[in-house]
Structure 1
Amino acid sequence: MWSERQRGIRVTQEELLCKNACGYYGNPAWQGFCSKCWRERSRAAGAQTQDARQTNDGTPLTFSKFEEKKSTEKGRRINTMRRLFWGSPSPPKRPETSESHARALKAYQSLDPGDFTGFLKLLRSPSSQRMQSRCTAFLNTMEAYHDLPVQKQSDLVQDFYQTFAEYFSCFSEAQVVQTMEHVEKLIMTRLHKWVFCHDSCDDEQKDLALQRRIRSLNWVTPQMLGVPFPDKKIGVTGDPFLPAITAIIEMDAKRAPQDKLACVCKCSQHVFEALSTSNSEPANADDFLSSLVYVVLKANPPRLHSNMQYVIRFGLPHSLMAGESGYYFTNLSCAVAFIEKLDGPALNLSKEEFGGYMMRGRAPSVRSERQKVAGDAQTVLEELQGRQEKLDEGMNALNVQLQQWVQVVETQLNEATSKFVTVQKEMAAQSVSSPHSAASQEEDMKDHMLLLLPDPDADPGDTDC
C-alpha cells in the first residue's frame, strides 16, 4: 500500500552533490555547496568586505596584524623566562637531520589504521621533534585566542590541516588521510572545550529550537513517513531501528569530529540493516532518508545542531566531501532540514489535519494502533490455543498407553497367580507321596515362580506372556 502512495521525502544523487558541480557532496548547511567551494566563496566574500572597510576607514583591520602583535608579546615573555632559567636567549636544540626525519616518516607509514596510541608514541619520539613542536605551538595559540569568532577558529584549524599534511607529501593519498585523522583527533580532543558550542555563535539557541521542533513532532508515525517496517510473518520483535537510535544519541559523548562522524556512519549502517529485515528488495535512497528522519524524530539527539556544526567546522574536509561518511552525513543534514521544514503535504496530510496534530487536538491513528495491538494479541492467543490443543492430545494418548499397560500387567499377574496355585497343588500332592523330597521340590517351585513373575524394571511394551 505504501509503495503506491506518493512519498513525502524524495532525494536524488544529483541533489546530494555540490551545486558547483565539483563532484563532491554538498550540504544544506553550506547552501548546497561542498566544504571546499563554500570556504572559497566565504573567503572571497570576506576579502571583499575587508577591502570595503579598508576603503572607508583607510586603516586595514586584518587579523594578521593583531596576531603578529600578540605573538610578539608572547615571544618576549617566553624569552624573558628562558633567560631566567637558562641564562641565554634560548636553550640549544639538537638539529633534526634528514635521515632521522626519513626514519620517522617510515614509522608513520607503517602505522596500522586507527592506532592512535602508536601515533602519539611516534610523535613524542626525538625524530618527530619538529612536528611535535608544530602541534604544541598551534594548540597553545588556539587556547590563547579562544575568544576569536568560531568561524575564524575554523579557518585556522583547516589551514593547519592543510599545511601539516605537507610533512607527509611523499605518502600515498590513503596514508595521508590515515595520518591526518590521527592529527585531527589529537588537535580537536584538546580544543573541544574551547570551540564546541562557542559563545560567538547561536548554536545553543538552535539546539533548543531543534529539540522543541522534534518534540512537537512526536506524533509522526512511520507510516506517515513511508518507512517500511518488518512484515508480521518475519520474527522481529520491538523497533528494528533501536540500534540506529542508540548510535545517533552516542554522538554527543564523543570529542573528536571523526568519532562523531563514526557514530553517524554506525547509525546509517544500522538503518540499512533494519531495512534489509523489513523488505525483501534492496533499500533505495528514499527509504534510507525517510528511515533516517524517523530515527532522528525518535531519538531527539542532544545538541544535534552543535554536533553537526562542530564536524562541519573542524573535521577533515575529505571526510565530508566524499566517501561513505560524506554520503551519510549529507543525508543526516537533509533529514534535519526536512524536519525543520516539515508540513502537511510532506506527510500526505491536509493543512487542517497537520494543524490538528500539531495542536494536540487528537492523537494520530489511535484506533488503528488499538486494532493493531488487538490483532497482535489475537494472533498470540491463537498460537497459544493451538499449542494447548497439541498438549491435550499428547496427554490423552499417554493416558491410553498407560491404561493398556496396566491391563497387560494385570493379565500377566492373574495368569502367574493361577499357575502358582496349580503348581502348589501339584507339589502338595507329591509331598504326600514322598515327604523326603519336599524340600528340593519347594526350591524348584521358587525358581519356577521367579521365572513366571514379570520384571518391574522392564518396559511395558517388552512384556510378553
Structure 2
Amino acid sequence: MGDGESAHDSPRDEGLQNISADDLPDSASQAAHPQDSAYSYRDAKKKLRLALCSADSVAFPVLSHSTRNGLPDHTDPEENEIVCFLKVQIAEAINLQDKNLMAQLQETMRCVCRFDNRTCRKLLASIAEDYRKRAPYIAYLTRCRQGLQTTQAHLERLLQRVLRDKEVANRYFTTVCVRLLLESKEKKIREFIQDFQKLTAADDKTAQVEDFLQFLYGAMAQDVIWQNASEEQLQDAQLAIERSVMNRIFKLAFYPNQDGDILRDQVLHEHIQRLSKVVTANHRALQIPEVYLREAPWPSAQSEIRTISAYKTPRDKVRCILRMCSTIMNLLSLANEDSVPGADDFVPVLVFVLIKANPPCLLSTVQYISSFYGNCLSGEESYWWMQFTAAVEFIKTIDDRK
C-alpha cells in the first residue's frame, strides 16, 4: 500500500485497539463508524459498571429461561438480563425518589439497549475480566482497611485511657478542694461527732447524718471555690464530703451496739466457714441449674464481694454489691446464651458466691446500709439489694452439718 493508505488506516487501528469487530453489535458494525462503535462500547461498559456498583444485588432477577452463559436467548434486545436488571433498579430508584440514580440508570439502559445479546455477554465478560485484574489491588485495599481499623481500635482504646486519667485527675482535684472546705469546718464536724455519739435510736442517727451533710453541701455552694463548678464536679464533691464524714463516724455507725454487733457477725462468719466446707455448687439446698455448674465457683464475683469491707460509706458498699451481682449475671449469660437468667437462676448462685467468699461483718453491713441508705435505694439498686438480703437470710437457714 501507499503512504496515503497507511495514513488512512491508522485512525481505524487506533479506534479499535481495545475492542474487536466481534464485540460490536451487528447493527453498529454495519452502519456506524468503527470509532463511534468502539466509543459506544466503552461508554456503555463504564456506565454499566457504575450501575452495578450502586445496585442491590439481591434484586437481580432470576429468569427461568437462560442459556449456558447466563443470559436468556431471545432476539428482542430488551429481553436480555442486563436490561431486566436495570429496569428493576430504575423501579427501585423511582420508589426512593432518587433522581440522580434514576437519570444514571436510564442513561445506562439507553446505551445497553443498543447492543444485542452476544455483545451484552461480551460486555459482562469484559467487566468480569477487569474485576479479576483488579483483584490484587482490591486485596491490597482490604489489607489497608484492616490495618486502619486496627489502628482506629488502638486509638479508641488510648482515648479511653486518657479520658479515664482525666476523670481520676478531676476527682483528685475535687477531693483536694473538699479537704480545704472540711478543714474550715473542723469545729462543726467535731460537734457533730459528739452529738452523734449521744444518740441511741437508729432513726435519730440517720436524720442527724442527713442534716449535717446538707449543711456541708450548703456551705460548699456558698464557697467561692465552687461558684463556677459544673454539675458533675458538684456531685463528685458531695460524694467526697459524704465519704469523709462517714469515715469519721464509721465505727459508731457500723457497730451501734459495739461488742454485741461484733459477736453477732463473728457467729455468722463461723457458720459460713463451716458451710463452705460442705456446700458445693450442686448442693441440694441451692439447686443451681445444671447448665450453669460449669462456670462454678465464679471467682471474679467472689473477688468483688470480698472488697466490700474496704468501703466506708453505705453508697459505696451498695455499689460493690451491684458489681458482684452484675458479674454473676454476665457469667450466667455466657454460660447459657439461649435464655436470659432469671431470679431463680441468680439467687442460688449468689448464695454460693457469698458462702465461698464469706465477706466479713455481713450482718452489720446489711444493718448499716438499711439504716443510712435504705431510703435512697431505688430501681436497679433496690432490686439487687433485695436479692442480696434474701440470700443472706437464706444462708442463715442452711444446715452446716449436711
The TM-score with structure 1 as length reference comes to 0.41
- Structure with higher Rg: it is 1
Q: Which has the higher contact order (CA 8 A, sep 6+)?
A: 1
Larger proportion of helix: 2
